[in-house]
Structure 1
Amino acid sequence: MKKLLSMVAVVVLTALSGCTDSSRPGPGLVWSDEFDGSGPVDERSWNVATGNKEFDGWGNEELQYYTKDSLVRDGDGHLAITAAKADPGAELPCWNGKNCEYTSGRITSEDKVSMQNGRVEVRMKVPAGTGLWPAFWMLGSGVDEWPNGGEIDVMEWVGNETKTVYGTLHGPGYSDDAGVQGEVELPADLSDDFHVFAVQKSPERIQWQVDGRTFFEMTPEKLPEGKKWVFERPFYLLFNLAVGGPWPGSPIEETKFPTTLLVDYVRIYN
């Protein structure tokens, strides 16, 4: 999950419905979290990230401090990740030497759940507002130094671009601003309803979809010349709701807090 990137595909979809039905899992399901019940996330599947300063603003000069309390199963079948203004005087060290002004949540499935080939999809409803940066993404397992293990951003959304979804690859020599990215413009504001975001991953091919329609595809041949394809390995999952950073910018007075990213489910199919 990185800031503004090189665009290689831009698609405008004009016929997508505003809502995708939350159907039961189909054939080939190998793992899912439907986020039923209430309380903390299932620690058999998820790790909860905390902090900011010790992770250098999570690599993007982000303004939120991740806390366990910002993540909860809401009792209505959702994971709720809430970004809020921090309590005045709270000790929340930020990368910039100040206390973070916001709190939010981030979870990963590292060492617990991963996928090498198959389909991963998530149904979620994103919050709108300048400075908000919700994302669902994947990192290559077993490689410590980013981006050598690869990063697949299934969906990113900046809260002041209400109709645009981004999908991105990061790898050695094509990361940060040089990441390879596609985007799709939807006919309606994404924050108005739930949508399904997915990646279909097969040997030497990755496809991005929104509500069942492909908007971006990458193969080794489409990488910048001389760059290495590093995506033939297991990838684990990440959800987060970031605040601030160079790409979405800082929140403005009109940005509403608290605000919540709702995740209905995440599923992996073979």
Structure 2
Amino acid sequence: MMSSQIFVAIVAASCVLSSGVVTAQTLVAAQSNTERSRNADASPQPFLQNPDLSKSWTLVKTFSDEFNSGRIDRSKWTTDMRPWGERAWSSDNLSQRDGKLFIKARYEPHTHRGNRYFYKLGILQSQQKTTYGYFEARIKGCSRFPGLCPAFWLYSNGREKNPKYPKVTYSEIDIVEMLQAGWDRELRRPTEVNRIDCNLHTRVINELGKEEWIRPQQMPDVCEHHWDAPWDPRDDYHVYACENTPERITWYIDGEKVAEEDNLYWHLPMSVTLTMELRPPLIAWAGVDGRVPVPDASTPEGFPTEMSVDYVRCWVRKPE
């Protein structure tokens, strides 16, 4: 079998012959393809440019999927969920073909239990929950921008607790949210298409005994992280990952570390989740804990559209 070094060298040489230039993105793509080929015959390991050789990983199949079959593995994943706020999920918006998962968003005005919706979206959520580990997915964004957010994230259900952290009532780690067109407070305008968000959200019991949100808006120094990619996430697949430990949370994109934060609140059992969700101008923020549709902005233009996922994988550290 051809080694990964030889494969990457051949790809680089062919690029030089054709264009005279080898970009970092070309090499990352070549390494990713080699990784997929090698992993067909061996247990995959996290895709890292500079791996810590002191860490040894075990793949957790419960939260991992190569999406190689013709249908979604219902023993691992659920896709049929009731609406959350303005998010109307439809299991029909998920499919597997050609070794990939596709999550669709489509324009479909409808009413559910008296609430009006304009779009149907897709969600893939793990049947079981986990907390610490290394989480990785290879994703290509959807074509429409702005208005949608392909995302890979972990979140708790608000009921399960960790007795070591009794004041924490909710944990959410956004491994990646792309195409958000969020608000840039410094430039005072929506962010560009290449802004990659890696944010944190939590709820805690404060000193007065009341539950309160801690989010990027309330605590940006802890919860807000982003990275401006030198490429458009709609154009190709890239590897988005996060390691969660009791001490810290670290984000990686294409094997390079892009952000790190002390782990203050993110210790609860969480679901591994992939979603396609609405963003402004198709919705509006309605306070700290809500979103609402914007009927006047709702449009079929740019729909349907899909995000695609090559794989999702989860590892835990082997005991030292």
TM-score by length of 2: 0.64
Match of 2:284 among 218, 230, 246: 246
* Partner secondary structure for residue 184 of structure 1: strand
Check the 8 A contact 1:118/1:269 in 2, yes or no.
Answer: yes
Check the 8 A contact 2:100/2:311 in 1, yes or no.
Answer: yes
Match of 2:152 among 124, 136, 139: 136
**In the aligned structure 2, how far is the partner of 1:48 from the partner of 1:144?**
21
Of 27-36 and 188-197, deviating more is: 27-36
Of 240-249 and 210-219, deviating more is: 240-249
Counting helix residues as a fraction of each chain, which structure ranks higher? Answer: 2
Deviations 1:208-256 (Å, cap 9, x if unpaired)?
Answer: 1111111111104xxxxxxxx3323432211110123337996676951
TM-score by length of 1: 0.75
Deviation at 1:144, TM superposition (A): 5.9
Check the 8 A contact 1:148/1:230 in 2, yes or no.
Answer: no
Moved over 6 A (4+): 247-254
Report the counterpart of residue 90 of structure 2 in structure 1. 67
Are residues 1:169 and 2:200 paired? yes
Deviations 1:29-64 (Å, cap 9, x if unpaired)?
Answer: 22220011213x211111113343xx3225xxxxxx
Report the counterpart of residue 149 of structure 1 in structure 2. 170
Check the 8 A contact 2:118/2:298 in 1, yes or no.
Answer: no
**In the aligned structure 2, how far is the partner of 1:122 from the partner of 1:85?**
26
Question: Gaps (5+ residues) in structure 1?
Answer: 1-14, 59-64, 221-228
Report the counterpart of residue 258 of structure 1 in structure 2. 304
Query: Comparing both chains, which one has the higher relative contact order based on Cα–Cα distances under 8 Å and sequence gaps of 6 or more?
Result: 1
* Partner secondary structure for residue 267 of structure 2: coil
Match of 1:109 among 126, 148, 170: 126
Deviation at 1:259, TM superposition (A): 0.6
Match of 1:124 among 139, 163, 168: 139
The structure with the larger Rg is 2
Over the matched positions of the two proteins, sequence identity in percent amounts to: 27
Report the counterpart of residue 227 of structure 2 in structure 1. 184
Question: Gaps (5+ residues) in structure 2?
Answer: 1-22, 46-56, 162-167, 182-191, 204-212, 286-290
User: Which residue identity lines up with residue 132 of structure 1 in the other structure?
Assistant: L
**In the aligned structure 2, how far is the partner of 1:84 from the partner of 1:71?**
11
**In the aligned structure 2, how far is the partner of 1:254 from the partner of 1:107?**
24
Match of 2:246 among 198, 203, 212: 203
Deviations 1:162-215 (Å, cap 9, x if unpaired)?
Answer: 211101111124137326110000111111000000001122200011111111
Check the 8 A contact 2:171/2:268 in 1, yes or no.
Answer: no
**In the aligned structure 2, how far is the partner of 1:156 from the partner of 1:265?**
17
How many residues get paired? 230
User: Which residue identity lines up with residue 269 of structure 1 in the other structure?
Assistant: W
Of 248-257 and 185-194, deviating more is: 248-257
User: Which residue identity lines up with residue 136 of structure 1 in the other structure?
Assistant: F
Check the 8 A contact 1:71/1:105 in 2, yes or no.
Answer: yes
* Partner secondary structure for residue 177 of structure 1: coil
Report the counterpart of residue 5 of structure 1 in structure 2. none
- Superposition pairs of residues 39-118 of structure 1, within 5 angstroms: 39=71, 41-52=72-83, 55-58=84-87, 65-74=88-97, 76-86=98-108, 91-93=110-112, 97-98=115-116, 100-110=117-127, 112=128, 114-118=129-133
User: Which residue identity lines up with residue 126 of structure 1 in the other structure?
Assistant: G
**In the aligned structure 2, how far is the partner of 1:236 from the partner of 1:163?**
27
Check the 8 A contact 2:194/2:232 in 1, yes or no.
Answer: yes
Match of 1:30 among 53, 60, 63: 60
* Partner secondary structure for residue 276 of structure 2: strand
The CA RMSD measured in Å over matched residues stands at: 2.8
Check the 8 A contact 1:204/1:232 in 2, yes or no.
Answer: no
Deviation at 1:101, TM superposition (A): 1.9
